[in-house]
Chains A and B, each alone.
Chain A
Amino acid sequence: MPGLGGRMSTVIKAKISKLLDRAEDPAETLDYGYQKQVEMLQNVKKGIADVVTSKKRLQMQSTKLEQQVVKLDTQARRALSQGQEDLARVALERKTLAQTELQSLDGQVKELENQQEQLTANEQKLRQKIEQFRTKKEVIKAQYSAAEAQVRISEAANGVGEEMADLGLAIQRAEDKTETMRARASAVEELEQAGTFDDLSQLGSGQDDIDRQLHELTSGAQVDDELAKMKAELGSGTGGDAPALEQGKENA
């Protein structure tokens, strides 16, 4: 079959040809090729470690978002118990947004976990291939004339090179994905932190830009439902809410 198409093949080809730059003396090429492979395996290991680090960062962001959801829920209750329904609505809208983001983030972290497993399995495979190359190069050196060796070397080296280049691309792709997720989660975090929630009065009137954006992003129906539920809960258990009410007044 003549050649390969597609961007991925082109990238992989380019990487392989870099690996095979030195091709004068077959024996030297073989040793150099092997040495290069071992070096690159270290990069692969480092790349996978980076993916793991990125995943941990995302998990931390997810924990933060969880805390925000709890905090916003508390604030909505407090606002409602003070009769400030508008504020409660704003807090609930933010909570809904945080929850939505949290869900998608958790899903993506899980996906990343699977990818990480796959990358590790492929690293193992690559390690075996490199080991295979080491054995093969001694056989080639011993058994073949220079011209024949040349052919066999490029075949074997291309095989390993392709494996390596492909794994490199997979790592790069996983890294890019985590970057996108991280940027998204940070954007939501910023959006929510733009009005600090430490003090209810700082929630604002619900009419600034951030709230307008939030309003567009969240489902009105879901917020209405939650608000109604919260009202019902507050109405039925007045006694237990007294301390929270007091605290709320201080803050307001």
Chain B
Amino acid sequence: MIVRVSGEGQFRLPDEDADRLNELDNRAVSAVEQGDETGFRELWSQMLELVASDGNALSEDELVESDVILPPRDITFAEAKGEFTGDGLIPD
């Protein structure tokens, strides 16, 4: 699974991480819907941590599309309302 963190590049993650990422994504959506910024922040940093711990940066000569595009690390809560809606970043 290829994940892009906007502004930071692409990472290759084991496919097993897809479920975990999807779960965090869905929880982030409900946090945003409930206006729970603290909860959202926590989930968002867990998503980024997952990418950082399990992901390997793609080399420059790999020209491939991402499966998931995460928004910029410093996303504001207001911006998150546009990203984490419905099925979230990863459609179920």
A166 close to B (CB within 8 Å): yes
A1 at the interface (CB under 8 A from B): yes
Annotate A1-37 by CB proximity to B: 1 below 8 A, 0 otherwise: 1111111110010001000000000000000000000
In the complex, per-residue mask of B10-42: 1 if CB is within 8 Å of any chain A CB, else 0: 000000001000000000000000000000000
User: Do residues B65 and A155 form an inter-chain contact, with CB atoms below 8 A?
Assistant: yes
Which of A7, A12, A173 makes the CB contact (< 8 A) with B72? A173
B63 touches A4 (CB 8 A): no
Contact of A1 among B1, B60, B61, B86 (CB under 8 A): B1
Interface pair A129/B69, CB less than 8 Å apart: no
- Least distance between B59 CB and chain A CB atoms (Å): 10
Residues of B in contact with A, size category: 20 to 34
Query: Measured between alpha carbons, how far is A6 from B82 in the docked complex, in Å?
Result: 7
Classify chain A's interface size. Answer: 20 to 34
Are B7 and A5 in touch, CB under 8 angstroms? no
With contacts A166-B6, A173-B72 known, is A4 near B91, CB below 8 A?
A: yes
**Complex CA distance for A129 and B61, rounded to whole angstroms:** 6
A170 CA / B69 CA spacing, docked (Å): 13
| Chain B, range 70-92, C-beta contacts under 8 Å to A | 71-72, 82-84, 86-91
Complex contact B65–A6 (CB within 8 A)? no
Chain B, residue nearest A119 (CB): B7
* Main SS class of interface, A: helix
Residue of A122, A128, A173 ringed by the most chain B CB atoms within 10 A: A173
Q: How far is the CA of A160 from the CA of B63 in the complex (A)?
A: 6
**Which listed residue (A1, A8, A128, A160) contacts B71, Cβ 8 A?**
A8
Contact yes or no, B63 A133, CB < 8 A = yes
Q: Tell me whether A162 and B66 are in contact (CB under 8 A).
A: yes
Known: A1-B18, A155-B64. A9 touches B69 (CB 8 A): yes
Binding site for A on B (CB under 8 A): 1, 4, 6-7, 9, 18, 60-69, 71-72, 82-84, 86-91
Sample of 13 further A-B pairs with CB below 8 A, known A4-B90, A166-B4: A2-B91, A3-B91, A4-B66, A4-B69, A5-B86, A5-B89, A5-B91, A6-B71, A8-B71, A122-B9, A129-B63, A136-B63, A155-B64
